[in-house]
C-alpha cells in the first residue's frame, strides 16, 4: 500500500471522524462463509428459501438447521487481523463508530464497543410470542427448532431477514453518522443488500472521503476516493499503521 493520500492525511491530522461499515468479507478469513462468494452461503441455499419470515413460517426446522450449521462454524471462528485492526481504530480515534452487517459477533469479540450490528446477531434468540431477546450459545442446539422455556412458542434468530425492516432507531443513528463522518471505511461488502448498500452514497453526498477494502471491485468502488484491493486481514493492519504514522507526524 502506498503513502496515505494528502486529502486523507489532512483529515487524520484534524482529528478524524471515522465511520466503518463491514460486510461478510471481513469474516471470510476467520472461516465464516460469505453470502455471494465462491463458497458463498447462497451457493448451496437461496436467500428466499431461508433468511426470510416466510421461510421460517413455512419450515422453521429447515431455517434453524441452517442457523445451527452457521453457529457451529462461527463458534470455531476467531476474529482475524482485520477485525483486530478495526478494534484498534476505535481506540485511536475518539470519533469512531462501526456499523456491521455481519451477525457473527466477531467484531465484539475483537474488542469493538462503538458498534451497531445492524442486521442483528445470530447468538441472540427472540421469543416469537413475547418478543423477549436473550443470548443462546448452545452449539449444537439441543432442540431444533428451539422453543421458549416460558411460553413454549417458537424461538427465532434475532436477526433482520430479507423483507423485514431494520430497527428504526438503528437507521436514525446510521443516517446521523453518515451525515457527520469525514471518512467512511467500507470493508468486505458486495454493496448489494439494501438499505446498507446505499450508505456509502449517503456519506459521499455529505462530503465524506470514502475508502474501500475488498478483494475485487464492487458498485461502491466507483465512488471511492481510495480503493485498497486485497484481503481485509492483510490490508487493514497496514492501513492502520499508516494512520498511526499520520498521527505521529502531526505531533512532530
Ligand atoms: C428492508 C441477516 C424494507 C440474516 C441479512 C424483495 C422482497 C423483499 C425485500 C427486498 C426485495 N428486493 C429488495 C429488497 C430489499 C432487501 C435487499 O436488499 N435484497 C437484495 C438481495 C436485493 N433488503 C431487505 O429486505 C432489508 N430490509 O429493505 O426493509 C423492506 C421491507 C419489506 C419489503 C421491502 C423492503 C433487510 C436486509 C437484511 C437481510 N439480512 N443478514 C443472516 O445473516 O442470516 S443480509 C446478509 O447480507 C448479511 O447481513 C450480509 O452481511 C449482508 C450483505 O452481504 P455482504 O456482507 O456484502 O456479503 P457478500 O457475501 O454479499 O459479499 C462479501 C464481500 O466481501 C464481497 O464483495 C467479496 O468480494 C468480499 N470479500 C470476500 N473475502 C474478502 C472480501 N473482502 C475483503 N477481504 C476478504 N478476505
pLDDT tens string 177-218: 999 999 999 999 999 999 999 999 999 999 999 999 999 999
Q: Is 90 exceeded by the pLDDT of residue 48?
A: no
What is the rounded distance in angstroms from the CA atom of residue 140 to the CA atom of residue 122? 13
Parallel, antiparallel or unpaired: strands 209-214 and 226-229: parallel
Measured at the CA of 140, the angle between CA 137 and CA 144, to 5 degrees, comes to 100
Pocket test for ligand 1, best of 20, 21, 85, 188 (most atoms within 8 A of CB): 188
Q: What is the CATH number of domain 1-31+79-119+166-252?
A: 3.40.50.1220
pLDDT confidence of 30, banded at 50, 70, 90?
A: very high
Which three cell numbers mark 223?
Answer: 465512488
Which residue's alpha carbon is at the smallest distance from atom 29 of ligand 1? 165
Site residues for ligand 1, CB cut-off 6 Å: 23-25, 28-29, 34-37, 40, 51, 101-103, 119, 159-166, 188-190, 192-195, 213-216, 218, 231-232
Catalytic: 119? yes
Domain positions in the chain: 1-31+79-119+166-252, 33-76+120-159
pTM higher than the cut 0.85: yes
pLDDT (0 to 100) of residue 41: 63
Which residue's alpha carbon is at the smallest distance from atom 40 of ligand 1? 161
Pocket test for ligand 1, best of 20, 22, 31, 34 (most atoms within 8 A of CB): 34
When the candidates are 3.60.15.10, 3.40.1190.20, 3.30.1600.10, 3.40.50.720, the CATH number that belongs to 33-76+120-159 is 3.30.1600.10
Amino acid at each position: 500500500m502506498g503513502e496515505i493520500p494528502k486529502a486523507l492525511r489532512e483529515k487524520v491530522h484534524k482529528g478524524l471522524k471515522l465511520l466503518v461499515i463491514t460486510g461478510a468479507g471481513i469474516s471470510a478469513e476467520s472461516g465464516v462463509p460469505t453470502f455471494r462468494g465462491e463458497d458463498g452461503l447462497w451457493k448451496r441455499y437461496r436467500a428466499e428459501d431461508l433468511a426470510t419470515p416466510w421461510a421460517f413460517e413455512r419450515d422453521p426446522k429447515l431455517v434453524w438447521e441452517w442457523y445451527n450449521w452457521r453457529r457451529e462454524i462461527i463458534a470455531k471462528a476467531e476474529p482475524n487481523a482485520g477485525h483486530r485492526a478495526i478494534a484498534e481504530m476505535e481506540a485511536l480515534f475518539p470519533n469512531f463508530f462501526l456499523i456491521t452487517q455481519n451477525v457473527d459477533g466477531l467484531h465484539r469479540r475483537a474488542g469493538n464497543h462503538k458498534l451497531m450490528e445492524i442486521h442483528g446477531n445470530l447468538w441472540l434468540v427472540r421469543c416469537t410470542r413475547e418478543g423477549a431477546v436473550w443470548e443462546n450459545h448452545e452449539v449444537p442446539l439441543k432442540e431444533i427448532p428451539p422453543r421458549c422455556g416460558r411460553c413454549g412458542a417458537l424461538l427465532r434468530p434475532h436477526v433482520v431477514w430479507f423483507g423485514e425492516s431494520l430497527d428504526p432507531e438503528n437507521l436514525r443513528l446510521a443516517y446521523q453518522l453518515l451525515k457527520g463522518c469525514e471518512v467512511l471505511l467500507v470493508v468486505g461488502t458486495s454493496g448489494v443488500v439494501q438499505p446498507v448498500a446505499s450508505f456509502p452514497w449517503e456519506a459521499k453526498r455529505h462530503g465524506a472521503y470514502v475508502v474501500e477494502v475488498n478483494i475485487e471491485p464492487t458498485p461502491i468502488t466507483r465512488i471511492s476516493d481510495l480503493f485498497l484491493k486485497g484481503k481485509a486481514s492483510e490490508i487493514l493492519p497496514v492501513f492502520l499503521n499508516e494512520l498511526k504514522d499520520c498521527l505521529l507526524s502531526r505531533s512532530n
